[in-house]
Structure 1
Amino acid sequence: MAIEGATTTNVSANSKLKDLFIEQLQDLYWAEKKLVKALSRMEEAATETKLKDAFATHRQQTKEHVNRLEQVFSSIGEEADTTKCPAMAGIISEAEDLIDDTDDGSAQRDSALIIAAQKAEHYEIASYGSLAQLAKVLGYMEAKNLLGQTLEEEKQTDMLLTQIAESGINYGASMETENI
C-alpha cells in the first residue's frame, strides 16, 4: 500500500527498501567504476576535438562520482562494495562493438560514440534520480544530496552530448558514403 507524501520518521532500519537501496548503490558503484575505463577508450576512438574533450571531462567527473558514491556508503554506515551491473556492462559492450564496427576517424563513429555515451547517461540519470528519492524516504539526507549533485552533472553531460551531436557530427556522418 503506497502512502502519499510518506515521511522518513518511521522507516525500519532493516527494511526491504534499505536492502534495495544498498543493492542499487552497489550496482551503480560498479557501473561508475567501469565507465571510467570505458570513457578512456571512447575518448581515444573519438575524432572530433569537442567530443574527445567531453569524454575526458566526463571521465574526471565520473572519478568524482565514484568518490561521491563512497561518501554515500559511508554516510549510511555501509562498506562501499560493488555488484556487477548488467545494464552498464551491456552498454559498454555495445560501445566497444560500435567502435569496432565503424571506421576510424569517421563522423559516423563519433555519432555512434555519442549514442553509446547517451545510453550510459540515461541509465545513470534514471539510477541517480531513483536512488536520491529512496535516500529521501529512508531519511538519508546527506546521501540524497550527494546523489542529487551527481544527477545534475549527468543531466548536464547528456545535454552537452546532444549539443555536440547537433553541432555538425550527425550531419557530417550523413554525408559520409560507404566504400563498396
Structure 2
Amino acid sequence: MSVETMQELFIDELKDLYSAEKQITRALPKLAKAATSAELKQAFLSHLEETNGQVARLEQAFQILGKSPKGKTCVGMKGVLEEGSEVLEDTGKGVVRDAALISAAQRVEHYEMAGYGSAQAFAKLLGQSEIAKLLEATLAEEKAADKKLSGISKQVNAEAKRAG
C-alpha cells in the first residue's frame, strides 16, 4: 500500500501497533513461564492483561475510523520478539535469564512507546481527539510497565551478579 496522506499514515501506524500488540499477547505467556522471579513472572502476566486491553482500545479506534485493524504485520516487533526469544536459547534458567528477559522486555516497551507517541501525535493533528485519548492511555501503561521492569531489574541484576 502506498501511503500518501497523513490519514493513511495514521491508519498504517495503527495497523502496525495492532499487529505488534497481537504478537506481544502470544509472547508474554512464554516470558512468564521462563521467568524464575515471582515478581517478574507476575509483571509479565499483569502486562498480558493490560495488553489485551490495549488491543481492545485499538479495535475501538478502528471502529471510530470505520476501518479494519487487519492487513499489516509489524516487522519491527517481530524482530524485537525474535531477538528476545534468543534469550531463552542462550541463557540457562535462573536470575541471569531473568535479567536478560527484563532487558528484552524493555526493548519491547520502548518500541511500543515510540509507536504510540507518534500515533497519538498524528491523532491530535488529524482532530481525532477520542482516539488520541485511547492512545494516551496505552502510552501511559507502556511507560508504567517499563518503570516497573526497571524496578524489578535492580534486585534481579544484583542477584544475577552475585550468582556469577
Q: Is the 8 A contact 1:29 1:82 kept in 2?
A: no
Q: TM-score, normalised by structure 1?
A: 0.87
Aligned to 1:170: 157
**Bigger-Rg structure (1/2):** 1
Q: 1:172 deviation in Å?
A: 1.2
Aligned to 1:154: 142
- Aligned-CA RMSD value: 1.2
2:148 & 2:16 partners in 1: Cα distance?
Answer: 25
Between the two proteins, what is the percent identity of the paired residues? 41
1:169 & 1:136 partners in 2: Cα distance?
Answer: 39
Q: Is the 8 A contact 1:36 1:62 kept in 2?
A: yes
- 1:121 pairs with 2:109: yes
Q: 1:28 deviation in Å?
A: 0.7
Higher helix share: 2
- 1:130 pairs with 2:114: no
Letter in 1 for 2:87: L
Listed as ranges, the matches of 1:1-180 within 5 Å are 16-104=5-93, 106-166=94-154, 168-177=155-164
2:110 & 2:68 partners in 1: Cα distance?
Answer: 27
Structure 1 residues 21 and 90, CA, compared in 2 at 3 Å: closer, same or farther? same
1:137 & 1:76 partners in 2: Cα distance?
Answer: 15
Where 1:139 maps in the other structure, the secondary structure is coil
1:161 & 1:141 partners in 2: Cα distance?
Answer: 30
After superposing on structure 2, the runs of 4+ consecutive aligned residues of structure 1 that deviate more than 4 Å are none
Which consecutive unaligned segments of at least 5 residues does structure 1 have? 1-13
1:43 & 1:113 partners in 2: Cα distance?
Answer: 9
Q: 1:100 deviation in Å?
A: 1.0
Q: 1:15 deviation in Å?
A: 6.4
Aligned to 1:6: none
Q: TM-score, normalised by structure 2?
A: 0.95
